[in-house]
Structure 1
Amino acid sequence: MPPIVASSLRIAGITAAALVLGGLTPLGQGALPPEFSSLANSASGWTIPTALLVWLLARGYPEAAIGGALGFIALTIGYTVASAWRGVDFDPLFWVIVGVVVGPFIGLAAHALRRTPLHAALGTGLLSGVLVGEAIYGLIVVGDTTSPVYWWIAAALGVALLLATAVRIRRPRLIVSATALTATIAAAFVIAYQLLGSISR
């Protein structure tokens, strides 16, 4: 099979799987307890499945970037279609834009986990930073109106990824770099979300 065909099939697999997962999400939300309701409007709710699909299927950075964007968008489209089928209005524009802008970076970070220790440290810093940053935002900024359960889970996943990478690479300087990048991305995430909230008011 020509490489470009194999690459296209892997990207299509990421997109198709994301579309299905997005479509199943509204159904799953109805079965989740209220403590997990924050998942419905969280960036990490799309980041985690996108990163997992890219990590499993992508075999190069170009595939990872394209798959990250298309996966994020497909999750949103699947969610929108399933919500409409259930009679619930959902405007996908914001999350589609997020997918176009952020999706490639999520894909690149996820694929980086498979590569050299340096790449893995950088990818971990980005992914862990998103998870920890959104958790901090959820607990501190919107903690009065949302359940803390999901935010603590997101934080735990971010820390767990950082620890898993530290065990794998076993290089103190890279571990420090991954930790510093996690903190930087987390802080940037909180600031960006606060700015976005003030603009949308």
Structure 2
Amino acid sequence: MHPAVASSLRTVAITLAALVLGALTPLGQGALPPELSSLANSASGWMIPTALLVWLLARGYLEAAIGGALGFIALTVGYTVASAWRGVDFDPLFWVIVGVVVGPFIGLAAHALHRSPLSAALGTGLLSGVLVGEAVYGLTVVGDTTSPVYWWITAALGVALLVATAARIRRPRLIVLATALTTSMAAVFLVAYQLLGSVPR
């Protein structure tokens, strides 16, 4: 099979899988226990499946960037269509914009986990930073109105990714780099979320 065709098929697979996952999300929201209800209104709820799909299927950085954007957007579209089918109004504009702007970076970071130690450290810093940053936001800014359980899970995932990468690369300087980038990204994410206010549903 021609490489361009194979790349296109993988990108389509990422997009279709994300579309299905997005459509299933509103159907499963009612089944979530209160402790996990914050998943329905979190950036990590879209970032994690997008990163996983790209990590599993993408075979190059360009493919990963495109897949990250399309995956994020497809999750939003799937969610919007399923919500409309259930009679629930959902405005996808905010998350589509996020997908266009942030999706490629999520895709690049996820694919970087496969690559050189330096690339893995950088990719981990971005992904872990988002997870930890949102967890801090959830526990502090909206802690009075949401359960802490989901936010602690998100923080644990961010730390677990950082630890797993550290165990893989085993280079002190790169581990320090990944940790510093995680901390910096978490701080940037926290400030950005506070500037945006509450994330639209």
TM-score norm. by structure 2 comes to: 0.98
Aligned positions of 1:165-184 closer than 5 A:
165-184=165-184
Q: Aligned residue for 1:60?
A: 60
Structure 1's unaligned 5+ residue stretches are none
Q: Aligned residue for 2:142?
A: 142
Which amino acid in 1 is paired with 2:61?
Y
Q: Aligned residue for 2:154?
A: 154
Identity of aligned residues (%): 86
Q: Aligned residue for 2:133?
A: 133
Q: Does residue 77 of structure 2 align to residue 77 of structure 1? A: yes
Q: Aligned residue for 1:32?
A: 32
Give the distance between the partners of 1:83 and 1:123, measured in 2 at CA.
33
Which amino acid in 2 is paired with 1:41?
N
Which amino acid in 2 is paired with 1:51?
A
- TM-aligned CA deviation for residue 28 of structure 1: 1.1
Give the distance between the partners of 1:65 and 1:107, measured in 2 at CA.
5
Q: Aligned residue for 2:41?
A: 41
Give the distance between the partners of 2:20 and 2:70, measured in 1 at CA.
13
Q: Aligned residue for 1:19?
A: 19
Taking only aligned residues, the RMSD between alpha carbons, in angstroms, comes to: 1.0
Give the distance between the partners of 1:23 and 1:115, measured in 2 at CA.
32
- TM-aligned CA deviation for residue 2 of structure 1: 1.1
Question: How many residues matched?
Answer: 199
Which amino acid in 2 is paired with 1:69?
A
Structure 2's unaligned 5+ residue stretches are none
Which amino acid in 1 is paired with 2:151?
W
TM-score norm. by structure 1 comes to: 0.98
- TM-aligned CA deviation for residue 161 of structure 1: 0.2
Which amino acid in 2 is paired with 1:139?
L
Give the distance between the partners of 1:28 and 1:149, measured in 2 at CA.
18
Q: Aligned residue for 2:120?
A: 120
Q: Does residue 96 of structure 2 align to residue 101 of structure 1? A: no
- TM-aligned CA deviation for residue 18 of structure 1: 0.1
- TM-aligned CA deviation for residue 124 of structure 1: 0.2
Give the distance between the partners of 1:38 and 1:11, measured in 2 at CA.
29
Hey, which bits of structure 1, 4+ residues long, moved more than 3 A?
none
- TM-aligned CA deviation for residue 197 of structure 1: 1.1
Which amino acid in 1 is paired with 2:27?
L
Give the distance between the partners of 2:38 and 2:98, measured in 1 at CA.
18
Give the distance between the partners of 2:187 and 2:81, measured in 1 at CA.
34
CA offsets 1:140-188 (integer angstroms, 9 cap, x no match): 0010111111100000000000000000000000000000000000000
Which amino acid in 1 is paired with 2:179?
T
Q: Aligned residue for 1:10?
A: 10
Give the distance between the partners of 2:28 and 2:160, measured in 1 at CA.
25
